Amino acid sequence: MNQISRIRQVDDLPQIEEKSTADASGRLSKRKRLFIAFGMCLAVLGGGAYAYDVLVASHHVTTDNAYVGADVALVTPLVGGPALEVLVDDTQPVKRGDILVRLDDIDAKLALARAEAGLSAAKAQLDKAKIDLDRRKALSASGSVSGEELTSARSAYSVADANLKTTQATRDQAQIDLERTVIRAPIDGVVSKRQVQVGQRVQPGMTLMTVVPIEAAFVDANFKENQLAKVRPGQSAILHSDLYGSDVVFHGRVVGFSGGTGAAFAVVPAQNATGNWIKVVQRLPVRIALDPKELEQHPLRVGLSMTADVRVEN
């Protein structure tokens, strides 16, 4: 029996070897197909990425390092005095010419009254000098008035005329100072950072508040320096605000570039002439103007975060 079993095992060896060989070749064929499929997937993904870069990505530069800005107006008095009324508060919208603050105008009115009195006296003096000059001119033909008296009369008239012009300027300045006790909004916008209180004595040049023109806001997008090779003024841009989300689209236009990077204008600029210098990619602010109609529909505030996408295909 043992010999028969060994004979059968010997007879089965070729079949076992053939089966193992077939299994191995099947595994190799399956692995080869998997590698080919994997390679095709990589080729498709690489081709798609290349096509996307050539057809889409190369025509856009984007950044989320962008913020809303505006040319704010600082409200400062041109004359001093106690604040009699403060008619606005923070977050209040105002129009150009609206009254913001009234200063106590008693001193300005007194100064104007004195200037008007001085102007009246100067006019009377000029009239008298003119009459004296005309009389002497009439008598000089007959020889009744000497040339010296005529010259003195002319000099007196010239002095009176100059005095009138000086007092007229003083009166005009007093009138302007009186008008300046009423402080008005220089632009349309929203009141921010109000610092003046009723009864506070303000001085010329003191900042009372800030008016932010939200309808004239713009965006400063800080692009990396290696993104700016194709960016030009006049190119269109699409922007989104974190305030409204991706549902609200703002359309803008590139206006220009800042004169330097943020690091160059920092209070403590970077010192690159050191031994342990490490290169850092700099960012350059790019000014983007926004559509006023879109700003009117969806107002923005200074400092809000934005995402900017500039089309650079042209």
Evaluate whether residue 41 is within a structural domain: no
Statement to judge: residues 254 and 304 lie in one domain? yes
Residue 25 lies in a domain: no
pLDDT of 13 higher than 50? no
Is residue 2 pLDDT above 60, yes or no?
no
- Domain shared by 164 and 289, yes or no: no
Q: Quote the pTM value.
A: 0.71
The pLDDT, as a whole number, for residue 10 is 46
Last residue within a domain, chosen from 162, 183, 212: 212
Co-location of 135 and 197 in the same domain: yes
Residue 35 domain-assigned?
no
Kindly indicate the confidence band of residue 230, based on its pLDDT and cuts at 50, 70 and 90.
Answer: confident
218 in Cβ contact with 290 (< 8 Å): yes
In 134-164, which positions are buried (b, 16+ CB within 10 angstroms) versus exposed (e)?
Answer: eebeeeeeeeebeeeeeeebeebbeebeebb
Give domain status of residue 28, yes or no.
Answer: no
Question: Which band of pLDDT confidence, cut at 50, 70 and 90, is reported for residue 16?
Answer: low
Say if 273 falls within a structural domain: yes
User: Which 3 state secondary structure label does DSSP give 224?
Assistant: strand
Average model confidence (pLDDT) for the chain? 83
What distance in Å separates the CA atoms of residue 243 and residue 250, rounded to the nearest whole number?
A: 12
Instruction: Give the pLDDT of residue 127.
Output: 86
Distances (CA, A) of 25 to 13, 15, 20, 165: 18, 15, 9, 115
Domain shared by 204 and 295, yes or no: no
Q: What is the pLDDT of residues 146-179, one digit of tens each?
A: 666 667 777 888 888 898 999 999 999 999 999 9
Q: What is the CATH number of the domain that holds 161?
A: 2.40.50.100
Shared domain for 207 and 240, answered yes or no, is no
Whether the per-residue pLDDT at 74 is higher than 60: the answer is yes
- pLDDT band (50, 70, 90) for residue 218: very high
The CATH number that applies at residue 65 is 2.40.30.170
Tokens for 161, please give them.
């005329």
User: pLDDT at position 43, please?
Assistant: 75
**Residue after which a domain boundary falls, among 192, 212, 232:** 212
pLDDT exceeds 60 at position 210:
yes
Same domain, 289 and 201: no
Residues 242 and 163 in one domain: no
Per-residue pLDDT at 126: 86
202 or 35, greater pLDDT: 202
- The predicted structure's pLDDT at residue 159: 87
Question: Is 138 inside any structural domain?
Answer: yes
Q: Look at residue 287 and tell me if it is in a domain.
A: yes
DSSP of 245-301: EEEEEEEEEEEEE-SS-TTTTSSS-----STT------EEEEEEEE-HHHHHHS---
Give the confidence band of 133 by pLDDT, cuts at 50, 70, 90: confident
Domain final residue, candidates 166, 194, 212: 212
Are 62 and 81 in contact by the 8 Å Cβ rule? The answer is: no
Quote the number of domains for the chain: 2
Mark whether 105 and 197 lie in a shared domain: yes
Q: Are residues 188 and 100 in the same domain?
A: yes
pLDDT given at position 209? 95
Co-location of 154 and 247 in the same domain? no
pLDDT of 152 reads 77
Q: What is the pLDDT of residue 23?
A: 60
Asked if 177 and 296 sit in the same domain, the reply is: no
Query: What average pLDDT score do residues 131-155 get?
Result: 70
Q: Is residue 277 part of a domain?
A: yes
Same domain, 189 and 177: yes
Would you state the pLDDT for residue 26? 61
Q: Residue 294: which of 252, 234, 233, 253 has the closest Cα?
A: 252
Range of the domain at 197: 73-212
pLDDT at 272 over 80: no
**In the chain, what percentage of residues exceed pLDDT 90?**
52
End-to-end CA distance of the chain: 92
